[in-house]
Structure 1
Amino acid sequence: MMLAGGLAILTALALAAAGLALLFDRHVQRLAREDLQNRARAIAGLVEPGRAPSLREVPLDPAYEQVFSGHYWQLRLGDRLLHSRSLWDYSLPMSDGPPAPGTTRSLTLPGPQGEPLLVFEQGLLVGRGAEAVPLQILVARDRRELDAARAEFLGDLLPYLSLLGALLLAASYVQVTVGLRPLAQVGARVAQLGSGARPRIGTDMPAEVIPLAREIDTLLDARDDELARARHRAADLAHGFKTPLQALMGDARLLRESGQADVAGSIETIALAMRRHVDRELARARLQTETGNSSADPGPIILKLVEVLKRTPLGAMIDWQIDCPPGLRASVDPDDLTEALGALMENAMRHARERVGVSARPTGRRVLITLRDDGPGVPEAGLDQLTRRGLSLDPQGDGQGIGLAVAAGVIDAAHGRMTMRNAHPGLEVQLEFPAAGP
């Protein structure tokens, strides 16, 4: 827009300069013709009528006395040809016959040095009746003087046009900046939507962008309604699978009691695998329907989880070391963070010998949560697989794989990152989330 505006301003100024130069040239030529006409009348007034009309005296103008001065006069009175001293021995070309009495015209003729001359020609009759003598007067001036005046006018005009162009460019910049400011405000609001600082764009904006903001908010409302329906469908699916899986486990127990342990074990293995897959996929489905507008403070969530885990026999024997400063805000749903941290903290509790440490701290624009136990850790060969999101820590187990899947899903949905490494002793898990707005 600035480039287009600048080109338009330069084009307009160029056209204005050309137009002003043309108007100035016409004005100067009009003044020059009027001056030449007045001079022609003055010369005509010097003609003495009579039987033999003559010129009483030569026009007293120093320009006409200086040779090739650029100012000339010439007249033809009957058969006589008179001209100013400035023409020296040169005669201006004249039409063969005198113009009609009383007529005037402007024309361009070559001067004594080949220069173009602006010429005013007037035809008169001296005397009356048959004794009248035709009088043809030519008064001329060098056109180069007019061209020089136009060049000087343009030279004086260009600085002002340059100043005007600079002012117009500055005004165009201000106009574009002020005009696009509402769009920048919309961009800032959209960024706040992504960081969770705002649930909606709102209508407290310039009137020009309120329709756009309303359309975006309407789309967000429709999306939230669809997400709510998706959550309900996920809950219905969980309840729908719960009864058949429970029935399968009951049938496996009956088979085991009847002595068919192999068949019962096979059914239990299949049922448990199905339950893990269903729980994992339902967790993923629920996480993928989360919006990015939620935020959570890790400190209170960690303290509540520790209180719950301490009520278990194993958790009561663990030394829980918590280091979470207040006021942290991570861009993640509180329920999802609770579920992910619960699974990981329970896993750390199972493998710890005496101590589990949980800390949270800000790192730039992100929030880092670290869990560390003093257990045996994980074999290095399998450590790389643990960091692959959605994989099970122990495919044969009943809880760890789901916990890692949920934690990985939470991180993925919140645009974060999860890393695991052996801390010697124990395993260290780091969860990194974007920091939420105030």
Structure 2
Amino acid sequence: TLPRAATPLRVVVAADRSALDAQVSSFRQRTALALIVLVALWFAVLVSQVHYGLRPLAELRRIAEQVRNGENVRFPQQGLVKEVAPLADELNALLDHHGRMVQRARRSAADLAHALKTPLTVLGTEAEGDGSDWRQTVRGETARMQASIDRYLAVGVAADHQQRTPVGPVLDALCRLMQRVHGDRDVRFSCDANAQGLFAGAREDLEEMLGNLLDNAGKWAAHTVEVRVRHEGTRMRFEVRDDGAGLPEEQLENVLGRGVRLDERASGSGLGLAIVADIAESYGGTLTLRNGAPGLVATLVLPAG
């Protein structure tokens, strides 16, 4: 409304929108084309990155196929990019573990065959004779064979690294058991009352290893068997020491062999220490023997849980 105007003044401005609409349409087309090009480039880069990123894994797959076919035994330590090198190391560790398990099973089968020889010989001799007590002989030898089968089949089971076994209760129970077994010789078992920690493995395996070492020490001790447990980072060290005569130095390296006995006059198959060494090896551990002046010291190193 203008001053001193009786009626409002209306102004209408009009223009042709076709040019503006054309510009907007052109802008939209260019933007859509640019987005399509960007998406295509992004997809191409993504595909290229995945392709080149997975090339080391393809190389691992090729090597794994060679290992499976027997053309190679291990994954190479060199020539792989640093991102997949740790994976190759873990695969090698898995192959080593599998190899130890296969070797352990084979040794267990050989041990079982060795342990069954004597009972079968006794049964064969009894079958050829005319003894009146053959029933008692058969019962005794079949029980012996069954015990051997149960024992060595249990030893042949693969090491279970997922289990965790408290050391203290196992060691205490074994020491009390061995005290009764060797009580007629007045041998005293002194076990580490403060033994703590967990063994990274099955309870049965720990009992088999420590039981064999304690029983062996009890056989040759004069008066005392001592057991000590120490922690060394991720490892546990068990020392079983007796006060017997020890061993000649030339026998220390051979005594862990299969079928080797410390004294031919003693009963047994000579497999106890070899079995301990096999089980320890399956867990990545070790068994070593040395003279302790007096006696023999057996050192068992196992993974801690």
TM-score (norm 2): 0.51
Structure 2 counterpart of 1:410, one-letter code: I
C-alpha deviation, 1:317, in angstroms: 1.1
Distance in 2 (CA, whole Å) between partners of 1:324 and 1:276 is 31
Structure-1 residue corresponding to 2:299: 430
CA distance in 2, matches of 1:247, 1:295: 39
CA distance in 2, matches of 1:278, 1:405: 17
Kindly state the Cα deviation for residue 399 of structure 1 after the two structures are TM-superposed. 2.6
CA contact 1:276–1:402 (8 Å) conserved in 2: no
Distance 1:257 1:298 in 2: 51
Aligned residues of 2:195 and 2:229 also touching (Cα < 8 A):
no
User: In 1, Cα distance between the equivalents of 2:217 and 2:197?
Assistant: 23
Structure 2: gaps of 5 or more residues: 1-100, 132-144
Pair 1:336-2:205 in alignment: yes
Q: Which residue of 1 aligns with 2:244?
A: 375
Alignment map for 1:6-405 (pairs within 5 Å): 246=119, 248-253=121-126, 282=153, 285-286=156-157, 289-314=158-183, 317-386=186-255, 388=256, 390=258, 392-394=260-262, 396=264, 398-399=267-268, 401-405=270-274
Which of 274, 284, 287 in structure 2 is aligned with 1:418? 287
- Normalization by structure 1: what TM-score? 0.36
User: Closer, same or farther in 2 for the Cα pair 1:326/1:246, shift >3 Å?
Assistant: closer
CA contact (8 A) 1:370 1:428 kept: yes
Distance in 1 (alpha carbons) for counterparts of 2:195 and 2:119: 43
Q: Which has the higher contact order (CA 8 A, sep 6+)?
A: 2
Structure 1 residues 364 and 407, CA gap change in structure 2 (3 angstroms): same
Percentage of identical aligned residues: 27
Per-residue CA deviation, residues 164-204 of structure 1 (Å, 9 max, x unaligned), is xxxxxxxxxxxxxxxxxxxxxxxxxxxxxxxxxxxxxxxxx
C-alpha distance in 2 between matches for 1:300 and 1:406: 22
Summarize the Cα distance change of 1:400–1:375 in structure 2 as closer, same or farther, 3 Å threshold. farther
Shift of residue 322, structure 1, vs aligned partner: 1.3
Displacement, 1:382?
A: 0.8
Structure 1 residues 363 and 407, CA gap change in structure 2 (3 angstroms):
same
1:8 alignment counterpart: none
Distance change (3 Å), C-alpha of 1:385 and 1:276: farther
- Root-mean-square deviation (CA), in Å? 3.9
Measured in 2, the distance between the counterparts of 1:322 and 1:395 equals 25
CA–CA distance in structure 2, aligned partners of residues 374 and 391 of structure 1: 24
Distance in 2 of aligned mates of 1:275 and 1:395 = 25
Question: 1:323–1:360: 8 Å Cα contact kept in structure 2?
Answer: yes
CA contact (8 A) 1:393 1:401 kept: yes
Q: C-alpha deviations, 1:226-255, integer Å up to 9, x for none?
A: x9xxx9xx99xx79x97x974542332465
Separation (CA, whole Å) in 2 of partners of 1:380 and 1:257: 48
Q: What residue in structure 1 maps to residue 86 of structure 2? A: none
Q: Which structure has greater strand proportion?
A: 1
Number of aligned pairs? 185
Q: One-letter code of the match for 1:285?
A: G
In 1: Cα distance, 2:260 partner to 2:168 partner: 27
Higher Rg of the two aligned structures: 1
Give CA-to-partner distance per residue, 1:148-177, whole Å, 9 cap, x none: xxxxxxxxxxxxxxxxxxxxxxxxxxxxxx
Q: CA 1:275 to 1:379, structure 2 compared with 1: closer, same or farther past 3 Å? A: farther
Q: Which residue identity is paired with 2:190?
A: Q
Call closer, same or farther: CA 1:414–1:395 in 2, change over 3 Å.
farther
How much has 1:409 moved relative to structure 2? 1.5
Following TM superposition, by how much is the alpha carbon of 1:383 offset from its aligned partner in structure 2, in angstroms?
0.7
Q: Is the 8 A contact 2:190 2:227 kept in 1?
A: yes
CA offsets 1:138-157 (integer angstroms, 9 cap, x no match) = xxxxxxxxxxxxxxxxxxxx
CA contact (8 A) 2:166 2:197 kept: yes
Matched letter for residue 223 of structure 2? E
Three-state SS of the structure 1 residue aligned to 2:162 is: coil
